[in-house]
Amino acid sequence: MTLPVHLRHDETFVLNLGPQHPATHGVLRVKLTMDGEYIVKAEPVLGYIHRMHEKLAEAGTYPQFMPNTARMDYLHALAFNHGYALAVEKAAGIEVPERAEYIRVITVELNRIASHLLWWAAFLLDLGGFTPLLYAFDDREQIIDLLERVTGSRLTYCYMRFGGVYNDIDDEFITGTRDFITRLRSRMPRMYHDLVTHNIILIKRIKDIGFISEEQCRRYGATGPVARGSGINYDVRKNEPYSVYQEFDFDVPVYSECDSMARYMVRMDEIEQSLRIIEQALDKLPDGPVMAKKVPKILKPGLGYHYSAVETARGSLGHMLVCNGDKNPYKLKLRSPTFSNLSLYGEVAEGMLLADALAFMGSLDLVIPEIDR
Amino acid sequence: MSVIESVKAAIEKVVPFSETVIPADPAGEGEEQQPDQVVHSAGAKEVDFAKTGCSLDVLCTAEQILDVAHALDGEQLFIESIAGVDWPKEDQIEVVYTFSHFQDSDVRVMVRLRVPRSEPKVPTISKVFSGADWHERETYDFYGVEFTDHPNLIRILLPEDADFYPLRKDYMP
Amino acid sequence: MESENVPSSIVQFAQLDKLLSLGRANSLWPMTFGLACCAIEMMCTGGSRYDISRFGAEVFRPSPRQSDVMIVAGTINKKLELAVKTLYDQMPEPKWVIAMGNCAISGGPFKVKENYNVVEGADKLFPVDVYIPGCPPRPEALLEGIMTLEEKITGTRRWPRV
């Protein structure tokens, strides 16, 4: 008599997931060694969207790389803009006017909400719910309208400049943003939490699934909502305040359950915190120029190694800039958050059911071009 | 003792702190600078966090990296990234590690080491920091730095059959 | 677009062919194949505001064997090349390809002399029917692309060009 597959422990098979798979959010491929429905070994294979950003950074001048930054993490493009602008400003010693800093914070936080909304939609789509996508996109389009008004594009923004931002915000943007805050706050409890967060199907799918310990986060260098869902109170906005984040009163949501539900809750709470930051920034918005005077046309930052970190929707983004006094960067290393976050996938997915592993993958919030760069 | 103090003490056991403090930005405006002037003397030193984004800059040798990694692991730092930098003039490849801390702000340790371009061999730290596995594979992919004892040193981003190291300065497709 | 009326088979069933192409044009099933940034705009097109189902093209199929139009939404690189080719080959005839965004048209911002990894255009791999420029193109542009494809299939446009 032959035993059912799951009982024959010496027999495993290899299952190929991706690079074209609806649940991998792009072109990630995972090589799974399966024992029946259980994963024995999961090995992510990267590089299907490697676009040589680091080479292009060396090839062009400092400002020429700015549009590329948005094409890495297209969901939170403004944070990548911001990170790169900060890195170069730090290296070249450019002062940014206060109004520009506030505008940067407002737009980056709006973009963060848009990113979390899209993650929410895509995550639930993975779990089999289509309706939430329509709700989330409805709200996301409002944000995109606002951002399009000031930045001129819908998705891949190139809004920041060294020394400020390219366009000032107007009254219509301010009233629009205030309306949006009210609108999202009124929709969050009923349409997001009642419909989805408290939904028993969702809870059964993601609660106690995908356990990432604090120690694992540290060993792998996981940051962002993944670390905060594992009880680590780490947010670059609080730990190494950059721009004007120290001016605002906001909390860092931390959950210590370490499961997919905790990561889900962190992101949902972050939406509210971002709204709080935007509200305060709009209240305090100072007058003045949005672009520093006397920014040299050809930047030649000082010699040496400069590291700067920002918090994107997915974690800590680092730019390591090596300058040699030339007009183009000698080396730009991009420390992308999801690269580290995904690297623990193999260890955590071991022994999981395949369906759970996909729910877990969704909870990591992957943006593949940012991993591959 | 604050985190930075104890990290310093831990590193000092492996890499001595150098006396000569080199300013992070020695360049005067308009002065012509050569790339090789970025090089500085060996040893660990404190640098200005506000200016460089790092609090410690450790220049060590390839043999010391494993001990440095153990020391930083003991201080509960996490690995942020590993990067390569190519210096063709000096015929060297530099490997830059950055570590940071979850609780204490303003702790970022940059560990740098240089290996000859013709035979770039560095011991792996993936046994200490599991996350280093992928970062090392990426550095191997881009620069051809061979991490000895690495469990799975294969191409990560480029196709498996690629036979070039694209981020080396002399590479041109 | 009269010149585009190439016979699709040796034996022609004039009215039946027309009827079939009308059916095909109004129920294009695109393949869910997001590669990069353009995929997000593709999702927006399927989302609440732009609502691609007004044009009968909302049935995104993850399997190439069930779809008849491939929207190449993003950059194709050397590692992915083979997978995209395989997907194209797996699609049943008749099939069409929309190259969405500059990367799929020509390599876009990655068509530089340092390029070591990006395939410069989807048309290097298989024939492309409609090109939609933009980085990324707006959802309206994708809708226009779908309508252009409909025009190519039936020979008539759904409604006049604005």
pLDDT at C74: 87
Determine if the peptide bond prior to B166 is cis (ω within 30°).
no
pLDDT at A93: 85
Q: Give the integer Cα–Cα distance in Å for B148 and B151.
A: 9
Cβ neighbours of B158 in A, within 8 Å: 47, 50
Q: Could you identify the residue written with the tokens 């699709």?
A: C8
| C-alpha distance from B159 to closest chain C C-alpha (Å) | 5
Instruction: Count the Cβ atoms, other than its own, within 10 Å of residue A35.
Output: 18
C150 dihedral zone (left: phi>0; alpha: psi -120 to 50; beta):
alpha
**Residues written for chain B:** 173
Cβ neighbours of B33 in A, within 8 Å: 303, 324-325
Cβ neighbours of C78 in B, within 8 Å: 158-159
* pLDDT of A2 over the 90 cut: no
Beta bridge partners of C61: C31
Q: Which two tokens stand for residue A56?
A: 């292009």
Question: Mean pLDDT score of chain C, rounded to an integer?
Answer: 85
* pLDDT of B31 over the 50 cut: no
**Inter-chain CB proximity B134 and A306 less than 8 Å:** no
Here the contacts of B28-37 (C-beta below 8 Å, separation 24 or greater) are B32/A325, B33/A303, B33/A324, B33/A325, B35/A324, B35/A325, B35/A326, B35/A330, B35/B87, B35/B89, B36/B87, B36/B89, B36/B90, B37/A303
pLDDT at B24: 46
Amino acid identity of A24?
T
pLDDT at C13: 67
Q: Please report, in angstroms and rounded to a whole number, the separation of the first and last CA atoms in chain B.
A: 52
A288 vs A21, more confident: A288
| C-alpha distance from A127 to closest chain C C-alpha (Å) | 15
* Chain A / chain C CB contacts < 8 angstroms: 101
* pLDDT of A331 over the 50 cut: yes
Q: Which residue of B has its CA nearest to A320?
A: B83
In contact, B112 and B44? CB cutoff 8 Å: no
Q: Which residues, at least 6 apart from A107, have a Cβ–Cβ distance to it below 8 Å?
A: A78, A147, A150, A151, A157, A159, A165
**Inter-chain CB proximity A49 and C34 less than 8 Å:** no
* B92-109: average pLDDT: 88
Q: Which residues, at least 6 apart from A16, have a Cβ–Cβ distance to it below 8 Å?
A: A29, A31, A32
Beta bridge partners of C30: C69
Q: Where are the domains of chain B?
A: 3-19+40-148
A48 touches chain C (CB under 8 A): yes
Q: Which residues, at least 6 apart from A312, have a Cβ–Cβ distance to it below 8 Å?
A: A73, A76, A79, A80, A83, A112, A115, A224, A337
Q: Give the integer Cα–Cα distance in Å for A232 and A235.
A: 9
Q: Where are the domains of chain A?
A: 13-372
pLDDT at A17: 86
**Residues written for chain A:** 373
pLDDT at B35: 43
pLDDT tens for C58-109 read 888 888 898 889 988 888 988 888 889 999 999 998 899 999 999 899 988 8
Q: Could you identify the residue written with the tokens 């690269």?
A: A339
* pLDDT of C128 over the 90 cut: yes
Considering only A211-215, B147-151, C8-12, which range has the smallest mean pLDDT?
C8-12
* A145-163: average pLDDT: 90
pLDDT range class, residue B25, cuts 50, 70, 90: very low
**Inter-chain CB proximity C39 and A26 less than 8 Å:** yes
Q: Which two tokens stand for residue C50?
A: 């732009």
pTM: 0.90
Cβ neighbours of B173 in C, within 8 Å: 113-116
Q: What percent of chain A has pLDDT over 90?
A: 32
pLDDT tens for A108-134 read 999 999 999 999 998 998 888 888 888
* pLDDT of C33 over the 60 cut: yes
C80 touches chain A (CB under 8 A): yes
pLDDT at A91: 86
Chains touching chain B through at least 3 C-beta pairs below 8 angstroms are A, C
pLDDT tens for B64-83 read 888 888 888 888 889 999 99
* pLDDT of A25 over the 80 cut: no
pLDDT range class, residue C160, cuts 50, 70, 90: confident
Q: Give the integer Cα–Cα distance in Å for A358 and A126.
A: 8
Cβ neighbours of B159 in C, within 8 Å: 78-79
* pLDDT of A262 over the 70 cut: yes
pLDDT at A264: 92
In contact, A17 and A30? CB cutoff 8 Å: yes
pLDDT at C8: 58
Q: Which member of A306, A330, A339 has the closest CB to residue B134? A: A339
pLDDT range class, residue B34, cuts 50, 70, 90: very low
Phi and psi at residue A304, to the nearest 5° = 120, -170
Closest CA to A300 of A321, A327, A278: A327
In contact, C95 and C39? CB cutoff 8 Å: no
pLDDT at A191: 86
Question: Mean pLDDT score of chain A, rounded to an integer?
Answer: 88
pLDDT range class, residue C158, cuts 50, 70, 90: confident
pLDDT tens for B47-66 read 888 888 888 888 888 888 88
What is the largest distance, in Å, between two alpha-carbon atoms of chain A?
83
Q: Give the integer Cα–Cα distance in Å for C33 and C63.
A: 9
pLDDT at A106: 92
pLDDT tens for A238-256 read 888 888 898 899 999 999 8
* pLDDT of A309 over the 50 cut: yes
Considering only A356-360, B10-14, B164-168, which range has the smallest mean pLDDT?
B10-14
Beta bridge partners of C96: C69
CATH class of B3-19+40-148: alpha beta
**Inter-chain CB proximity A335 and B105 less than 8 Å:** no
| C-alpha distance from C135 to closest chain A C-alpha (Å) | 8
**What topology does CATH give the domain A13-372?**
Cytochrome-c3 Hydrogenase; chain B (1.10.645)
Q: Which residue of A has its CA nearest to C81?
A: A48
pLDDT at B20: 52
Chain C neighbours among B 149-168 (CB < 8 Å)? 158-159, 164, 166
* pLDDT of A73 over the 60 cut: yes
A57 touches chain C (CB under 8 A): no
pLDDT at A1: 46
pLDDT range class, residue B41, cuts 50, 70, 90: low
* A346-362: average pLDDT: 89
* Chain A / chain B CB contacts < 8 angstroms: 131
